[in-house]
Amino acid sequence: MVNRMDAGWVVVINHEEQYSVYPADLPVPAGWVATGHSGTRDECLDHIALVWVDMRPRSVREALAKVASHSE
Compute the distance between CA of residue 38 and CA of residue 12 in angstroms, rounded to an integer.
9
Three-state secondary-structure class, residue 30: coil
For the domain spanning 4-70, the CATH number is: 3.90.820.10
Residues 11/19, Cβ–Cβ less than 8 Å = yes
- Each residue's pLDDT, cut to its tens digit, for the chain (72 residues) gives 455 666 799 999 999 999 999 999 999 999 999 999 999 999 999 999 999 998 888 898 888 888 878 776
Exposed/middle/buried for residue 69 (C-beta within 10 Å: 0-12, 13-18, 19+): exposed
pLDDT for 56 equals 85
Give me the residue spans of the domains in the chain.
4-70
Using alpha carbons, select from 40, 48, 34, 39 the residue that is nearest to residue 5.
Answer: 40
